Amino acid sequence: MKAITTIGIDLAKNSFSVYGVNAKGKCVLQRTLTRSGVIRFFANLPECLVGMEACASSEYWLERLKAWGILYAASILVM
């Protein structure tokens, strides 16, 4: 993938919108994922900052990503 430094993910019940930007803030990735595709998607990314909305499921996804070793706590920003 094209040097993604930051990922924004919009959490929903069954589909998730993901946007990735590079160091200059240019959008280099825009994709919709299913619930089952979220972990596969993050497994193929280099470590980067992840921003997600503060909602009921954000803590669940934060813990899932950390548990699967995909992202480190220092790389997560819950907005």
Residue 17 placed within a domain: yes
**Total domains in the fold of the chain:** 1
Residue 57 placed within a domain: yes
Stated pTM of the model: 0.73
- Distance in Å from the first CA to the final CA of the chain: 24
Render pLDDT for 13-72 as a digit per residue (tens, 0 to 9).
889 999 999 999 999 999 999 988 988 888 888 778 888 877 778 888 888 877 776 654
pLDDT the model gives residue 39: 82
Residue 1 placed within a domain: no
Tell me the CATH number at 71. 3.30.420.40
What is the span of the domain harbouring residue 56? 6-78
**Residue 46 carries which DSSP code?**
P
Q: H helices of 1-79, where?
A: 37-43, 58-67
